[in-house]
């Protein structure tokens, strides 16, 4: 139904005061003031006509329902009620009307609900009013006010949540509330006796009576914290300490509090209140985490597994009162041994050394056999201990809880056990500790075994390396000896061939010179062939000797001015470079190299470039340095070569051009490669057919 504002109600005329504004203006002003006051107070008055089912707002509902629609008329108010609250909203109105009758002409109306405003904002509202009936008891109207209580409702909800959280925290933490006064009286809530394991405490006790049960190491710090909180208004009481329980064991307590009343004149504290919480479990967990961290640090430092396990067992005993911890290793053949346990006599471990695991082999042997935790609460009566109780009971071992320790692949490595000095079930804390420390024991053992395997593997590898090194050294010696023999043979053969070759060439020339007229044309041709081949053979022998000298010569490194060397080689070309422009392109850095060998390298490259560029239109040969490649180069614009055959360039006797086109022995570039490699450098080439070639070389470090 559309909601609209109720028209102003007619008012009785009043006498006009001489000094006042006209009544209509006065009434309008009062109306506006009323509307503003109501909106500022977040209160909106309304009237509902039951017969016509129309709702009239006595103050504009804009601040309550949101901006009015374009039509200026709000929709039926009930359509704005939050869907989750609509049923309760309707029920409240129906129940109010149902109470009306001839005997009861009015009935109260009260409901809280949410409204979804036209701008999408959801707000909590509180509607209160009164329903009226006619003489026959039929409902006529309902009038009332609606108050925006959203902030109050949200605050109430937060308070309820906080109160519920506080109740749960106090119940779950077994907290105790306390209050003290300046007379030394302490009032404790009912949970104190339960917390310390004793009878219910009196409602009022002297605070000093508790000092005797505070741990001596914590008493001074506790007193200091209390005095600081009493003297300094900005200081709150907060400290943790150990407290002796009724059974003599120690628990950790956290006490927090604040001064609630001070003398207004002196500022002296008159009363203080707070809460006491048992934090033993938290401190145990903290201690366990510290123990785990300490053990993992030992493992990371590669400490032996035995050292880590002993530290683990001692740490476990420090976390649980009245227990002794042990570790047994599962040996090959399904037997337990290598027992560790600082608080268990060595005779006990000696007696069970080599114990076969099985279904009735005590707690540890059975746990290893079942591959699951075994809990024996009374060694004296449990059948698992029938064969061993005579060994355990005289030592004060009354209960045993054993946890198998697993490797990463699930294999059982051993057992970690706690022995109690009284017959009892393990607590949740003891079981948690077993589960938390068993993986660390496994890590220590596996790390130890892996280290041993790595050491053994390293030793085997080192032995194989030694053997392989010896083999390689022997092979290298054999190869070196073979190379020396081949070089000596090559040098000897080449040297020994020089004289016969000179003789052959010389005698062929003498025959031509002395007997030329008597020789036939074919005879002269054959002698010319002999002479030419003897010459070529001589050149080849000289090249082989040069290659042998490169391989046999001792490397004598020294500072070498590459620019000066290049210019000397270019000047020495003479007629061989006729028509070819040869030059040094820029400055060349100094090299640390053997002068004789590098001279031969550079001369071979330059002569090679002059030979292959001689047929170019404007032959050019350059010697230079490329800083980006950190290499020297010799470049020409001659015949070039196909990069598909670049690897053949530096092989002895390999040629990419026919001897008739470019004569040579095929040894020059092999010598270049050998000189560069002997210096720890390398040589490579780039080129293209008809576009010249560039040969690069480096001479290694130095």
Which helix or strand (DSSP H or E) is residue 381 part of?
none
**Does one domain contain both 54 and 129?**
yes
**pLDDT band (50, 70, 90) for residue 635:** very high
Q: Percent of the chain beyond pLDDT 70?
A: 83
**Does one domain contain both 247 and 207?**
yes
**Does one domain contain both 306 and 273?**
no
What is the separation of C-alpha 33 from the centre of its chain, rounded to a whole number of angstroms? 66
pLDDT, mean over the chain: 83
For 194-205, b/e burial (b = at least 16 CB within 10 A) is ebbeeeebeeee
Higher per-residue confidence, 336 vs 596: 336
**Does one domain contain both 188 and 236?**
yes
**Residue 546 counted as domain residue:** no
Domain count across the chain: 4
**Does one domain contain both 33 and 148?**
yes
Which helix or strand (DSSP H or E) is residue 419 part of?
strand 412-420
Whole-prediction pTM: 0.45
**Residue 514 counted as domain residue:** no
> In the chain, what is the greatest distance between 2 CA atoms, to the nearest angstrom?
174
Domain region containing 190: 173-278
Nearest alpha carbon to residue 329 among 446, 421, 431: 446
**Does one domain contain both 223 and 135?**
no
**Does one domain contain both 436 and 305?**
yes
Distance (Å, rounded) from C-alpha 678 to C-alpha 610? Answer: 25
**Does one domain contain both 298 and 270?**
no
On the question of pLDDT at 487 being above 70, the answer is no
**Residue 499 counted as domain residue:** no
For 121-148, b/e burial (b = at least 16 CB within 10 A) is eebbbbbebebebeeeeebebbebbbbb
Nearest alpha carbon to residue 591 among 551, 555, 640: 555
**Does one domain contain both 178 and 120?**
no
**pLDDT (0 to 100) of residue 97:** 92
**Does one domain contain both 652 and 609?**
yes
Alpha-carbon dihedral 477, 483, 485, 486, rounded to 10 degrees: 160
**pLDDT band (50, 70, 90) for residue 161:** confident
Q: Find the CATH number of the domain harbouring 112.
A: 3.30.450.20
- Region 613-640 average pLDDT: 91
CB-based contact 221:241 (threshold 8 Å):
yes
On the question of pLDDT at 368 being above 80, the answer is yes
Condensed to tens digits (0 to 9), the pLDDT of residues 549-559 reads: 666 667 788 99
**Residue 441 counted as domain residue:** yes
- Region 250-278 average pLDDT: 91
Q: What are phi and psi of 271, to 5 degrees?
A: -150, 155
**pLDDT (0 to 100) of residue 12:** 38
Q: Find the CATH number of the domain harbouring 645.
A: 3.30.565.10
Q: Percent of the chain beyond pLDDT 90?
A: 42
**pLDDT (0 to 100) of residue 28:** 54
**Residue 242 counted as domain residue:** yes
On the question of pLDDT at 27 being above 70, the answer is no
Higher per-residue confidence, 327 vs 320: 327
């Amino acid at each position: 139904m559309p909601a609209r504002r109720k028209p102003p109600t007619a008012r009785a005329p009043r006498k006009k005061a001489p000094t006042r504004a006209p009544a209509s203006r006065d009434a309008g002003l009062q109306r506006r003031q009323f509307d503003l006051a109501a909106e500022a107070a977040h209160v909106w008055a309304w009237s509902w006509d039951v017969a016509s089912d129309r709702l009239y707002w006595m103050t504009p509902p804009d601040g309550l329902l949101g901006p009015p629609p374009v039509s200026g008329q709000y929709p039926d108010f009930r359509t704005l009620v939050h869907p989750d609250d609509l049923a309760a909203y309707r029920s409240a109105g129906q129940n109010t009307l149902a109470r009306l009758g001839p005997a009861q002409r009015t009935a109260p109306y009260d409901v809280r609900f949410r409204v979804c405003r036209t701008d999408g904002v959801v707000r909590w509202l509180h509607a209160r009013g009164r329903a009226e009936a006619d003489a026959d008891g039929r409902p006529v109207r309902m009038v009332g006010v609606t108050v925006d209580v959203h902030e109050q409702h949200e605050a109430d909800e937060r308070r309820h949540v906080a109160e519920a959280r506080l109740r749960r925290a106090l119940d779950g933490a077994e907290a105790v509330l306390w209050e003290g006064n300046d007379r030394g009286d302490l009032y404790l809530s009912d949970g104190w006796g339960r917390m310390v394991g004793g009878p219910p405490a009196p409602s009022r006790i002297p605070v000093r009576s508790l000092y005797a049960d505070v741990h001596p190491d914590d008493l001074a710090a506790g007193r200091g914290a209390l005095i600081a909180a009493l003297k300094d208004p900005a200081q709150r009481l907060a400290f943790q300490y150990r407290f002796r329980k009724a059974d003599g064991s120690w628990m950790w307590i956290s006490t927090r509090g604040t001064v609630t009343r001070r003398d207004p004149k002196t500022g002296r504290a008159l009363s203080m209140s707070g809460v006491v919480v048992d934090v033993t479990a938290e401190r145990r967990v903290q201690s366990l985490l510290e123990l785990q961290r300490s053990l993992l640090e030992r493992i990371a430092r590669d400490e032996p597994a035995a050292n880590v396990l002993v530290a683990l067992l001692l740490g476990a005993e420090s976390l649980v009162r009245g227990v002794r911890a042990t570790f047994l290793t599962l040996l090959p053949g399904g037997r337990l041994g290598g027992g560790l346990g600082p608080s268990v006599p060595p005779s006990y471990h000696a007696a069970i050394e080599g114990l076969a695991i099985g279904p009735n082999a005590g707690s540890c042997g059975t746990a290893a056999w079942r591959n699951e935790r075994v809990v024996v609460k009374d060694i004296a009566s449990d059948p698992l201990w029938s064969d061993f109780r005579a060994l355990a009971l005289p030592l004060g071992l009354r209960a045993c809880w054993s946890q198998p320790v697993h490797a990463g692949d699930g294999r059982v490595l051993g057992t970690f056990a706690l022995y109690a000095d009284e017959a009892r079930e393990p607590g949740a804390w003891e079981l948690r500790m077993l589960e938390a420390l068993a993986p660390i024991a496994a890590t220590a053992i596996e790390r130890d075994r892996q280290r041993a395997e790595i050491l053994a593997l390293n030793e085997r590898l080192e032995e194989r390396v030694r053997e392989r090194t010896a083999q390689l050294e022997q092979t290298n010696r054999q190869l070196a000896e073979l190379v020396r023999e081949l070089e000596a043979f090559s040098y000897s053969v080449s040297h020994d061939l020089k004289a016969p070759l000179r003789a052959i060439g010389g005698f062929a020339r003498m025959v031509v010179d002395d007997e030329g007229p008597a020789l036939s044309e074919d005879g002269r041709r054959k002698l010319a062939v002999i002479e030419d081949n003897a010459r070529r053979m001589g050149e080849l022998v000289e090249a082989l000797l040069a290659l042998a000298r490169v391989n046999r010569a001792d490397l004598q490194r020294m500072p070498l001015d590459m620019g000066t060397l290049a210019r000397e080689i270019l000047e020495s070309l003479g007629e061989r470079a006729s028509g070819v422009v040869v030059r040094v392109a820029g400055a060349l850095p100094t090299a640390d190299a053997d002068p004789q060998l590098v001279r031969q390298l550079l001369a071979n490259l330059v002569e090679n470039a002059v030979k292959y560029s001689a047929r170019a239109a404007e032959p050019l040969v350059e010697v230079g340095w490329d800083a980006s490649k950190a290499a020297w180069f010799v470049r020409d614009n001659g015949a070039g070569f196909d990069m598909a055959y670049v690897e053949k360039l530096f092989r002895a006797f390999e040629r990419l051009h026919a001897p008739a086109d470019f004569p040579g022995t095929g040894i020059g570039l092999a010598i270049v490669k050998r000189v560069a490699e002997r210096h720890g450098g390398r040589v490579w080439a780039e080129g293209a057919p008809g576009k010249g070639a560039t040969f690069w070389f480096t001479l290694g470090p130095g």
